[in-house]
Amino acid sequence: MESLGGDTAWFDRFAAQHAALLYYWLVTGLFMASPESAYNFSLLVEEHAYVTYAVFAEENAQLLQSASALESRGRIRSVCGRGYGSK
């Protein structure tokens, strides 16, 4: 996401970090009240993510098949200035 410019806007980073914290504490509080409800809520969120990605993958199948993993790695290297995992 970062290599596509997803981290350039301050508000986007702020909103993503705080949404993650809110989700964590919401599920934690829900778990304290009812573990079964917390599990079901997490299941709904994960199912939504799965369906969303499946639709994306289906709609962009040709593009995803034409791109190689090495191309993505090269883009990451050019953005970071070094190879993945190097120090």
Q: In this predicted model, what pLDDT tens digit does every residue of 32-84 receive, in sequence order?
A: 999 999 999 999 999 999 999 999 989 988 887 887 765 555 554 454 444 44
> Of 54, 53, 24, 55, which Cα lies nearest the Cα of 41?
24
Q: What angle do CA 81, 61, 4 make, to 5 degrees?
A: 25
On whether the pTM is more than 0.85, the answer is no
Query: Which region among 17-21, 23-27, 63-67, 70-74 has the lowest average model confidence (pLDDT)?
Result: 70-74
Asked if 86 contacts 10 with a C-beta cutoff of 8 angstroms, the reply is no
